[in-house]
Amino acid sequence: MIQQTLVLVKPDGVKRGLIGEIISRFEKRGLKIVGIKMVQVDPDFSKKHYSAHVAKSFYKNLEKFITSGPVVAMAIEGIDAVEVVRKIVGSTEPKSAPVGTIRGDFAHVSLNYADSKGKSAENLIHASGNKEEAEQEVSLWFSIDELHSYKLSYEDHVM
């Protein structure tokens, strides 16, 4: 099934100059970027995006992190894109993320260590966790006219 999913290069990824590196990993896998923009998230929007986490103990640090600088938001399309993108991203905690994933290649902080410093674990990237979350997040971040339909030149070979 062709799906769209939301990816954010979080403020740490932007400030570390990893936007291009991160985008290229999705492009090389043959996934299609159908929407892209740079956004400064404010606390109200953070609460909408992370509505599932607002009541959790780590939310305060998470909001501080996600509002600490601009993010690059992308809608990414492909076959079972939600699952494929999550695999490219790696697990939440950089310390545990497999080498070869974005979080496993560019960070190593543990959730415990970040917690002890009063910080959110800076894990470079957000990706929608499941199909329902993806549909809701793509429509939260992108209007219909910001999403584009086109054919990749190599679509006949990788899709």
Question: Does 123 interact with ligand ATP (rule: CB under 6 A)?
Answer: yes
121 contacts ligand ATP (rule: CB under 6 A): yes
129 part of the interface to ligand ATP, by CB under 6 A: yes
- Token reading at 52: 């599932």
Q: Count residues contacting ligand ATP (CB under 6 A)?
A: 13
Q: Which residue number, 108 or 148, has a Cβ lying nearer to ligand ATP?
A: 108
Stretch that binds Mg ion, among 23-31, 75-83, 122-130, 147-155 (CB under 5 A): 122-130
- The nearer residue to ligand ATP, 24 or 112, going by C-beta atoms, is 112
Among 126, 138, 141, 142, binds ligand ATP (CB under 6 A): 126
Residue 119 class from Cβ within 10 Å (0-12 exposed, 13-18 middle, 19+ buried)? middle
**Residue 17 DSSP class:** T
In sequence order, the β-bridge partners of residue 125 are: 9
Nearer to Mg ion, 111 or 152 (CB): 111
Q: Is 148 a catalytic residue?
A: no
Per DSSP, the three-state class of 18 is coil
State how far the Cα of 157 lies from the Cα of 159, in Å rounded to an integer: 6
Minimum distance from residue 32 beta carbon to ligand ATP (Å): 20
Residue nearest Mg ion by beta-carbon distance = 129
- Distance from C-alpha of 71 to C-alpha of 4, rounded to nearest angstrom: 19
Instruction: Decide: 18 and 106 in contact? Cβ < 8 Å.
Output: yes
Catalytic residue numbers read 126
